[in-house]
Amino acid sequence: MRDLSQIVKAYDVRGVVPDQWDADTARALGAAFARVTGATAIVVGRDMRPSSPGLSRAFAEGAASQGADVTEIGLASTDELYYASGSLDLPGAMFTASHNPAQYNGIKMCRAGASPVGQDTGLAEIRALVEEGVPAFDGKQGVIKQQDVLPGYAAYLRSLVDLTAIRPLKVVVDAGNGMGGHTVPAVLEGLPLDVVPMYFELDGTFPNHEANPLDPKNLVDLQAKVRETGADLGLAFDGDADRCFVVDEKGDPVSPSAITALVAVRELEKHPGATVIHNLITSSAVPEIVREHGGTPVCTRVGHSFIKQEMAVTDAVFGGEHSAHYYFRDFWRADTGMLAAMHVLAALGGQDGTLSALVADYDRYVQSGEINSEVADQAAAAEKVRAAYAGQPGIVVDDMDGMTIGGDDWWFNLRPSNTEPLLRLNVEAKDATTMAALRDAVLALIRG
């Protein structure tokens, strides 16, 4: 019996290749995916990792063995796969390990219309079916074909945000040798933008830096290039280009919470009174700003499957996460870093000021950013923190996702990673002194 416990996470498949999974596993997952979704046709995309061609083809063969026709879109960003799933109305599978190191690979799966597949929406069934053994299919085998959806993806995004009339902007883009190098030229070509490319060569060994802009060290090259070239802003995409990080004209990072607020304001202008989703780690400024602009903020757990489900329930127009995932109702409620980047370009290019001035009102509190701690016993470390704070006057504890503890003008969240043996800490406070003291006190408890 095949054991998938190491690679099936809360909302995707992810693990080291070939130690934890291989083409045979991918083939079985493809067969199980076809059976669980009941699909007669699916779409499959892949990133630039060395293992992606073999794994994605094996998955396609597995699905075809169950009678499903497979459309391979080849090299794609994750949001390009979501576009394909939405526009073709087919279940989809994207082969990527996002920002993880080169030896990892994974699968992000969705039903038709980019509807998420997570533990409660099919992933547990897929795992069980693979572990039990997928039954043979006695009908006609499916056909595997190829289709290029990149032009359609670019045209669709450009139909959602019009950049043709903005003032000329110089923008440095760091693709991190990931899929942004594939999608950015197609989407931004011919617009009033002077694009300065960095690391656009597709290379799944990530020779320049990890494709994880959430880690400040991976933004250093972009920040330097923005300052050196006098650019108006910089954009950094992660490995599968579904996340986008922004730095201003000074090279300073703009928090994903501020970007969430900026995009929310733009969407609320088009859809007055709409709902905006934010996860519990985004800044308190986000729900404040959404309310100030007549919208309804709704807080949810971290993770794309949870956000998408909540968007479907509330018919939210937009959703944002602290990790720079941005979700749009107009994009099948899926996350697309490219569309968020286009909103930033439109907002900046639609007025004469700098980006730092534009986002100043959206950046009201001081955040630590996500701090990872590797600990032997995650639960014990978290309980030590809970014991130190819970029960004190004015302290509120929320267990919606990990543990969130808050006071009058500060809060922190501590939660275990779904993909790595880590505890993730996020802290926010009214000023830098309060934030730093709280951060250091909690880290001392975790690591002590």
At 391 the pLDDT is 86
For 200-228, the pLDDT digits (tens) are 999 999 999 999 998 899 999 999 999 99
The pLDDT, as a whole number, for residue 235 is 98
- 51, 98, 257, 284: the active-site residue: 98
Query: Is 98 annotated as catalytic?
Result: yes
Q: For residues 186 and 200, is the Cβ–Cβ distance under 8 A?
A: no
Q: pLDDT tens, position by position, for the chain (448 residues)?
A: 689 999 998 889 999 999 999 999 999 999 999 999 999 999 999 999 999 999 999 999 999 999 999 999 999 999 999 999 999 999 999 999 998 999 999 999 999 999 989 888 999 999 999 999 999 999 999 999 999 999 999 999 999 999 999 999 999 999 999 999 999 999 999 999 999 999 999 999 999 999 999 889 999 999 999 999 999 999 999 999 999 999 999 999 999 999 999 999 999 999 999 999 999 999 999 999 999 999 999 999 988 778 888 999 999 999 999 889 999 999 999 999 999 999 999 999 999 999 999 999 999 999 998 899 999 899 999 999 999 999 899 999 999 999 999 999 999 999 998 667 799 999 999 999 999 999 999 999 999 8
Give residue 419's pLDDT. Answer: 63
Q: What is the 3-state secondary structure (H, E, C) of the chain?
A: CCCCCCCECCCCEEEECCCCCCHHHHHHHHHHHHHHHCCCEEEEEECCCCCHHHHHHHHHHHHHCCCCEEEEEEECCHHHHHHHHHHHCCCEEEECCCCCCCCEEEEEEEEHHHEECCHHHCHHHHHHHHHHCCCCCCCCCCCEEECCCHHHHHHHHHHHCCCCCCCCEEEEEECCCCCHHHHHHHHHCCCCEEEEEECCCCCCCCCCCCCCCCCHHHHHHHHHHHHHHCCCEEEEECCCCCEEEEECCCCCEECHHHHHHHHHHHHHHHCCCCEEEEECCCCCHHHHHHHHCCCEEEEECCCHHHHHHHHHHHCCCEEECCCCEEEEHHHCCEECHHHHHHHHHHHHHCCCCCHHHHHHHHCCCEECCCEEEECCCHHHHHHHHHHHHCCCCCCEEECCCCEEEECCCEEEEEEECCCCCEEEEEEEECCHHHHHHHHHHHHHHHHC
Identify the pLDDT of residue 118. Answer: 87
pLDDT at 309: 85
